[in-house]
Amino acid sequence: MTTTTTTTGAGVRDLGKRFGEVRALGGVTLDFPAGQVTALMGENGAGKSTLLKILTGDHQPTEGTVLLDGAELSLGSPARARAAGIRIIPQEPEIIPHVSVAENVYAGALPHGAGRRLDRAELRRRITADLDRLGFARVLDPDLLGSELTPAQRQLVEILRALTGEAKVIAFDEPTSSLSEQEVEALFALIRRLRDQGVAVIYVSHRMKEIFQLADRIAVLRDGSLAGVLDAAEAGEQDLVRLMVGRDLSQLFVRQNVATDEVVLKVDGLTTDDVRDISLTVRAGEVVGLAGLIGAGRSELALALAGDLPVRSGTVTLDGKKLRSGRPGEVIAAGLGLAPEERKAQALFLHRSIRDNTSLVVLERLRRFRFVRRSAERQLAQSYTDRLRVRAPGIEHEVRKLSGGNQQKVVLARWLARKPKVLILDEPTRGIDIGAKAEIYQIIADLAKEGVALLVISSELPEVLGLSDRIVVMQNGRITGELDRSEATEEKILALAMADDLSNEGLSNEGRQA
């Protein structure tokens, strides 16, 4: 474990912040050395955002000091922090919709000519030079209006804005959440250039692969305190998880064999436009993992089972009753629920409350004389948010303001309220931190104990291996094999996921669903 002390770059000493009786930070002493990338990690609520907001002048510390190049710094406002050379690229970009990319980048510092009119020629020169210098010329048109930008382009505009002027400290808060692979590579190249130029870089992310690619040091916050600082070159994933949640990665999975012999879901020869001849079963209390590479057809299969995609042939039977294709209402009524991969786009009403989102599929149960009984609705929503430990001020809180892990819990609360017999979870822990993942894993284990049949789709092989009783592997819309928990390994799953010859006798027979 490293305890770097530096006089160049930024740092905090005995930093504390309280919001009323709530302690967000306490006694944090941490350096962000110039010429290094310091990753800042921790669960949601660990204090990362509060620390960044203190560095950028949005919050004032209750106690302790902020240092820049060894000298104490008083940051009374974001403007003072920016003048001192401290920048942050926020997770949610703030874009002016009716002006161009160039004007968004230099907002507040636009070049003016005679009569205070905007000097468009100088603006063009500046934005062209900066786009070329930072490597974004091919992915960002300076003439696009803010309202025309994609989420990825909005993120790049925020990065460009932060890099205008002399920056000594730059913090990136989950910067790759909406970027393509090409844009991520350009961003990483930029961060490395900034580091080599002597800038102190703070990188906040829950993506461990990115952390180990970029970071020189990894600082971990837990419950508002500094849990430790690791040398990224020497640390392993287990070390990082242990600091974040206080236990090893292997202890996150709490599966017990509680599966019964009762087949709840039976799929026989299911064929759609995307998948072919799918046959599988899921038993009560069983967790079946569905693995495969991107494009294997896993999500399309889930949507077909839920009645959202038309079925060309084959049958889906739930508790002995055949489900009709293209009738999601009937599927839900029969007892099958789907928590889709894109929870924000496909599952949640982001501007509605936790209460509204939780009660959505049980409103008919809450009605009396065609009117929803609001007291019963509130009681139901509160009981499930309490059970799943959704962290929010209350059930009237807007879902869009929740962390990714808590949003996923709201999706699960909706289906738990419905009391499903079969629950399909498509990438249930994508985009959430380690601590929230552990809680989702516990929820899955609890549902299995209650006899729910679970089909879990995940691209993370350790997750598939840790959660599943059986693992079904898909490639190119077909099932290429099945592995029991006792025999499954990452190598065997990948071999089935990358199998080229689907007619190969060994693949078609070995481990197939009986």
Encoding tokens for residue 189? 């190249």
- Model pLDDT, residue 405: 79
pLDDT tens digits, one per residue of 28-38: 999 999 999 99
Predicted confidence (pLDDT) per residue in 219-228, tens digit: 999 888 999 9
Quote the pLDDT of residue 3.
Answer: 44
At residue 483, the pLDDT reads 95
Please count the other Cβ atoms lying within 10 Å of the Cβ belonging to residue 79. Answer: 11
What would the two tokens of residue 259 be? 């599966």
Please give the share of the chain, as a percent, with pLDDT higher than 70.
Answer: 93
pLDDT reading at 235 higher than 50: yes
Q: Alpha-carbon distance 456 to 133, whole Å?
A: 45
pLDDT greater than 90 at residue 336: yes
Q: What value does the mean pLDDT take over residues 108-134?
A: 84
**CA distances to 56, 162, 167, 367, 400 from 84, in Å:** 10, 13, 8, 59, 33
Average pLDDT for 110-129: 85
Residue range 435-448, pLDDT digits in tens? 778 888 888 898 99
Fold of 253-335+420-509: Rossmann fold (3.40.50)
pLDDT tens by residue, 49-79:
889 999 988 899 999 999 998 888 888 888 8
Residue 91 pLDDT more than 80? no
pLDDT number for residue 33: 95
C-alpha to C-alpha distance for 322 and 132, rounded to whole angstroms? 60
Q: Which of 496-504's residues contact partners 24+ apart within 8 Å by CB, and which partners? A: 496/291, 497/291, 497/292, 497/293, 497/296, 497/473, 498/293, 499/475, 502/475, 502/476, 502/478
Q: What is the CATH number of domain 9-95+149-246?
A: 3.40.50.300
**Encoded amino acid at 461, one letter:** L
For residue 249, the model assigns a pLDDT of: 58
The pTM for the full model equals 0.61
φ and ψ at residue 305, rounded to 5 degrees:
-65, -35
**Residue 426 β-bridge partners:** 457
Instruction: Name the phi and psi angles at 150, rounded to 5.
Output: -75, 165
Out of 40-54, 132-146, 304-318, 386-400, the most confident range is 304-318
Strands 336-339 and 422-426: parallel
Cβ(448)–Cβ(259) below 8 Å: yes
Around Cβ 240, how many Cβ atoms within 10 Å?
22
Please say if the pLDDT value at position 5 is more than 60: no
First to last CA, the chain: 51
Span 498-513, mean pLDDT? 46
Cβ-in-10-Å burial (0-12, 13-18, 19+) of 426 comes to buried
With b meaning 16 or more CB within 10 Å and e meaning fewer, what string describes 162-188?
bbbeebbbbbbbbbbbbbeeebeebbb
Q: Which of 96, 63, 102, 48 is nearest to 218 (CA)?
A: 48
What local confidence, expressed as pLDDT, does residue 1 receive?
47
Mean per-residue pLDDT for 186-215? Answer: 88
Query: Is the model's pLDDT at 40 over the cut of 90?
Result: yes
* Cα Dmax for the chain: 83
- Amino acid of residue 400: R
Question: Mean pLDDT lowest for which of 106-115, 190-199, 273-282?
Answer: 106-115
Q: Is the pLDDT of residue 304 over 80?
A: yes
pLDDT of residue 511: 40
Q: Express each pLDDT in 421-479 by its tens digit.
A: 999 999 888 777 777 788 888 888 989 999 999 999 998 888 899 899 999 999 989 99
pLDDT value at residue 23: 85
Q: What's the confidence (pLDDT) of residue 248?
A: 59
More confident residue, 229 or 118: 229
Q: What is the pLDDT of residue 167?
A: 84
Q: Give ranges for CATH 3.40.50.300 in the chain.
A: 9-95+149-246, 253-335+420-509
pLDDT band, very low/low/confident/very high, at 251 (cuts 50, 70, 90): low
**pLDDT for position 313:** 94
pLDDT mean across residues, the chain: 85
Q: Do 111 and 126 touch, CB atoms closer than 8 A? A: yes
Q: Is the pLDDT of residue 302 over 70?
A: yes
CA dihedral 282, 284, 288, 290 (to 10 degrees): 50
Find how far residue 335's CA is from the centre of its chain.
28
